[in-house]
Amino acid sequence: MDLERTDFVSVVVPAHNEAEGIVGTLKEIARVLASCGVKWEIIVVDDGSRDGTFDRVRDLAAREGRIKALRFSRNFGKESAILAGLRVARGQAVITMDADLQHPPRLIPLMLEAWREGSRVVDGVKKNRAGDGIAARLRAKAFNAVLSKMGGINIHDSSDFKLLDRVVVDALANQVPERRRFYRGLADWVGYSHASIPFDVEPRAQGVGKWSLLKLIELATTATVSFTSAPLRIVTLLGLLTLVFGFSVGTEALIGWFRGRAVSGFTTTISTLLILGSFIMISLGIIGEYIAKIYDEIKARPYYLVEDSVGFSPGKSEDFVPAQPRNAGAN
């Protein structure tokens, strides 16, 4: 399907310490967008990089005015970077993708075609994960399956590689105020019509991955706490089961005492106490995560702070709020 030149497409690229490959990534995205025959802009959100990523983007933006950038005052996280990009993007369609070319730009025309056919959200769905071992793939599949089941959302093999219609962008940027955000889940939670495009995760073009095990655990915790209260219900259920177990053991011991049998089993008693103590500590930890989320919401600190920008006018607030929805084909 031909794409009208009046369509305006924004591409949001969160980046953290991607100086080595960011220029090549932006050039490839720009090349694909130019081939689509649409008006476009690329917005790089530098999430507190320390390797000169922003300077590389600034130099490229000086030669190509449709490339813009925001630089955070520190590392606020990828979720905040995506939110910042959505807030300033002006396109009728907004695409979010990684800065390392693992999300292939060649799929952008297919995403635009699905959007033009009526889909409000076009999800890039991972078929194969380059560089991931079997254990990592199984962990990802298990987590996505469990969260989808408990949270009532569909994130099976989904990614941050998405196209969002203007209506969806405004909903995520303006009507979802929570601080601990999980973009993949929220993009499904808001509803609207969805389409999926499968893709193979490409090897990184340059550099190394920035996701440590600790960051992955933090993301999984945020996603779980944001979309389901099932862990709290599990704690309650385990507490009831423990109560039944304790009542049964206590009843047996009491009957034995009345019948004159000595109640022995010091090792068993200590083991039981240790297990119960561990269960209590884990339960407190789960409850603590939910309390921490409430605490973060109450503080109401900004999602991020912008230290510098390229292609925006710092003195004009309209450059830092989403554009109003425009009808397809409008100038």
The two tokens of residue 331 are: 């100038």
Q: What is the pLDDT of residues 128-187, one digit of tens each?
A: 765 555 665 666 666 656 556 555 566 666 788 899 999 999 888 888 777 777 788 788
Q: SS3 of 217, please?
A: helix
pLDDT (0 to 100) of residue 96: 93
pLDDT (0 to 100) of residue 148: 60
pLDDT (0 to 100) of residue 12: 94
Q: Whose CA is closest to 95, among 185, 20, 187?
A: 187
How many other CB atoms sit within 10 Å of the CB of residue 178?
12
What is the rounded CA–CA span in Å between residue 44 and residue 204? Answer: 18
Q: Whose CA is closest to 46, among 25, 22, 20?
A: 22
pLDDT (0 to 100) of residue 292: 74
More confident residue, 258 or 76: 76
Residue 209's pLDDT band (boundaries 50, 70, 90)?
low
Q: What are phi and psi of 14, to 5 degrees?
A: -70, 140
pLDDT (0 to 100) of residue 132: 58
The owner of tokens 């490229």 is 60
pLDDT greater than 50 at residue 223: yes
More confident residue, 22 or 242: 22
What is the rounded CA–CA span in Å between residue 210 and residue 208? Answer: 6
What is the rounded CA–CA span in Å between residue 205 and residue 24? Answer: 9
Lowest mean pLDDT among 97-111, 176-190, 256-270: 256-270
pLDDT (0 to 100) of residue 154: 64
pLDDT (0 to 100) of residue 248: 73
